[in-house]
Amino acid sequence: MFSRVTKNPWPVGEPQLSQDVHPALAAAARAAARAYQEARQLHTRAELREEVADGADGTPTMRVDALVEGAIVEAAEASGVNLLSEEAGFVDHGSAATLVVDPVDGSANAAMGVPLSCFAGALVIDTVPIEALTVWFDTGRAWSAKAGRPTPFRTSGRTRLRGASICMMRPKRGTEEAWTRVASAADRIRILCTTCLETMLVAEGSVDAFADPGSDTHRLMDLIAALVTVPAAGGVLLDLRGRPVEFDLDLTRRWSGIAAATPELADELIATILG
Amino acid sequence: MFSRVTKNPWPVGEPQLSQDVHPALAAAARAAARAYQEARQLHTRAELREEVADGADGTPTMRVDALVEGAIVEAAEASGVNLLSEEAGFVDHGSAATLVVDPVDGSANAAMGVPLSCFAGALVIDTVPIEALTVWFDTGRAWSAKAGRPTPFRTSGRTRLRGASICMMRPKRGTEEAWTRVASAADRIRILCTTCLETMLVAEGSVDAFADPGSDTHRLMDLIAALVTVPAAGGVLLDLRGRPVEFDLDLTRRWSGIAAATPELADELIATILG
């Protein structure tokens, strides 16, 4: 199929972290960026995309995911915190603190070289997420937030779907009609294939909302950074069907995440998707 | 509508240009990046998005387009080449060389802060495009090519739509069914809202193809950099309906651009869109 075997030649950015990011989160993000950089240098796109295992969450693990998660497992052990990650599952170090991590959000982008993938994680004490960090690999741009404390970046404040710019997951079987309803009602639609980065664009006001239009694709690690960050930026992070998005060691749970600049926009988006 | 008036805080990258880029193209790209950086610092997102004029191509001009094009007009004058640009039209400096430029491809992204917009241009001698340059503003990543000379980066080489990753323009009125046929046949779909950057992802092998599924949105400056670069990387750049993509001072001409890793993939994509 592929006549040309190529590597991605572009560099991964150094994570641009502020001083007050929790050391365990910072160490995990830095380890992830280094591991992704090495993976790009050592492996072709086809190798990074290869499915090498089935993750703890029941979905296939690409080589790029496995390599980056391996580095994060080591970082979490050195930090002395527990880890909950999509491939490794729960790694118990007997701490009250747990890092919940998506090592590579946008795995297909990361493998093929589409420059839209990121590290996303949150620090949970007992069952309460208290801090989050998302780092866009290609640039090192980082968004951090502490639960209940306003962030310097803010959502757009938009309240209506008409005129809005919306990121959505691609239409999947059973969600095509909902997808089309949103695409018709909004001003602009984008599909970037990286939930964690797209929800940060909502948080910083570059797009007005992000939605899974009902495919129940999201696992806890796809949403937990946004769960802390988007509200701290003035927006909301909800499930389409009203299920609470909450810490749980059961990685079979799924949600359809909705991130929006305002509660009003989230309500209209949900009503439009549910028809 | 917007309760929060914000600026985009992220830096624009310095264009990473190789030594052999034509000085007029290099000067235009550097002027564009500087002007976009200044525009982000001086203006809010809402101000950058504001429509301030109607361009020579008949479409509205956002403030961000006008500011960046202004800098390119000056750069072209200093270089002594003619300029053909979407807002200014043809600026004749009596040269055999004409820069054909899209000052800001992905204007809506550039205005709102979605980090996917670029400068794209080609140097045309008489009517023949001989060199192209595309620069992604947010990172400074650059793709340059000379007509008929192989580039170091290569397309993916994929020949079939099944299993392919495709970038498409968003579905518009009249193209919804074609859009859905492609989305159903391909493995992955993305909508990045920046034709010039998406065609460079085809050229470098990060996605397999890009398509306007029949909306005839593309003007010459949306396609001319890809017209030089994608074939030099081993792929093809065609119009959906077989119209020649060629230099023309008439900016009312439109195409539905198809960029693909191979002629076989372009054929299957076109057949799928045309149904």
CATH architecture of the domain covering B23-146:
2-Layer Sandwich (3.30)
Kindly list the residues from chain A whose CB atom is less than 8 angstroms away from the CB atom of residue B51: none
Would you state the structure tokens that stand for residue A173, as one six-digit string?
């079987």
Give the domain ranges of chain B: 23-146, 165-274
Kindly list the residues from chain B whose CB atom is less than 8 angstroms away from the CB atom of residue A170: 183, 188-190
Nearest to B192 among A9, A192, A207 (CB): A192
Give CA separation, B74 vs A89, B110, B251, B260, in Å. 57, 21, 21, 35
Instruction: Look up the ipTM and state it.
Output: 0.96
Instruction: Tell me whether residues B114 and A3 touch, CB distance under 8 A.
Output: no
- Output DSSP code: residue B62: E
Tell me, yes or no, if A162 comes closer than 8 A to chain B by beta carbon: no
Shortest distance, CA A51 to any CA of chain B (angstroms): 14
Tell me, yes or no, if B153 comes closer than 8 A to chain A by beta carbon: yes
Question: What's the pLDDT score for residue B190?
Answer: 98
DSSP letters, chain A, are: --S------SPPPPP---TTS-HHHHHHHHHHHHHHHHHHHHS-HHHHHSEEEE-TTSSEEEHHHHHHHHHHHHHHHHHT-EEEETTTEEE--S-SEEEEEEEEESHHHHHHT-S--EEEEEEEETTEEEEEEEEETTT--EEEEETTS--SS-------STT-EEEEPPP-TTTHHHHHHHHHHSSEEEB-S-HHHHHHHHHTTSSSEEE--S---B-HHHHHHHHHHHHHTT-EEEETT-------S-TT--B-EEEESSHHHHHHHHHHHH-
User: Which residue's entry shows tokens 């007509």?
Assistant: B147
pLDDT tens column, A70-102: 999 999 999 999 999 988 899 999 999 999 999
Query: Do residues A179 and A256 lie in contact, with contact meaning Cβ atoms separated by under 8 Å?
Result: no
CA closest to A140 among chain B residues = B139
Q: Which residues touch A47 (CB under 8 Å, ≥6 apart)?
A: A63
Query: A-B interface: how many C-beta pairs under 8 angstroms?
Result: 116
* A198 marked as part of a ligand binding site: no
Question: What's the pLDDT score for residue B86?
Answer: 85
Kindly list the residues from chain A whose CB atom is less than 8 angstroms away from the CB atom of residue B141: 10, 115
Question: What's the pLDDT score for residue B56?
Answer: 79
pLDDT tens column, A108-158: 999 999 999 999 999 999 999 999 999 999 999 999 999 999 999 999 999
Best A2, A44, A45 member to test B by mutation, with max B CBs in 10 Å, is A2
Nearest alpha carbon to residue A209 among A200, A220, A218: A200
Nearest alpha carbon to residue B107 among B95, B99, B98, B116: B116
Nearest alpha carbon to residue B124 among B87, B93, B82: B82
Question: What's the pLDDT score for residue B5?
Answer: 60
Kindly list the residues from chain B whose CB atom is less than 8 angstroms away from the CB atom of residue A6: 153-154, 156, 205
Q: Please give the single-letter amino acid code of residue A60.
A: P
Kindly list the residues from chain A whose CB atom is less than 8 angstroms away from the CB atom of residue B138: 139
CATH architecture of the domain covering A165-274:
3-Layer(aba) Sandwich (3.40)
User: In the structure, what pLDDT confidence band is assigned to residue A2 with cuts at 50, 70 and 90?
Assistant: very low
Instruction: Tell me whether residues A205 and B157 touch, CB distance under 8 A.
Output: no
Q: How deeply is B17 buried, as exposed, middle or buried, from its count of CB atoms within 10 A (0-12, 13-18, 19+)?
A: middle
Instruction: Tell me whether residues B206 and A171 touch, CB distance under 8 A.
Output: no
Shortest distance, CA B251 to any CA of chain A (angstroms): 24
Radius of gyration of chain B (CA): 18
- d(Cα A134, Cα A239) in Å, to the nearest integer? 20
- Is residue A1 predicted with pLDDT exceeding 90? no
Question: What's the pLDDT score for residue B4?
Answer: 58
Question: What's the pLDDT score for residue B69?
Answer: 97
Question: What's the pLDDT score for residue B3?
Answer: 43
Q: Please list the pLDDT of chain B residue by residue as tens digits (275 residues).
A: 344 568 999 999 999 999 999 999 999 999 999 999 999 999 999 999 999 988 777 788 999 999 999 999 999 999 999 999 988 899 999 999 999 999 999 999 999 999 999 999 999 999 999 999 999 999 999 999 999 999 999 999 999 999 999 999 999 999 999 999 999 999 999 999 999 999 999 999 999 999 999 999 999 999 999 999 999 999 999 999 999 999 999 999 999 999 999 999 999 999 999 99
* A222 marked as part of a ligand binding site: yes
Shortest distance, CA A83 to any CA of chain B (angstroms): 30
Q: Which residues touch B173 (CB under 8 Å, ≥6 apart)?
A: none
Instruction: Tell me whether residues B114 and A156 touch, CB distance under 8 A.
Output: no
Q: Residues 27..56 of B with a Cβ closer than 8 Å to A: which?
A: 45
Instruction: Tell me whether residues A114 and B158 touch, CB distance under 8 A.
Output: no
Instruction: Tell me whether residues A4 and B141 touch, CB distance under 8 A.
Output: no
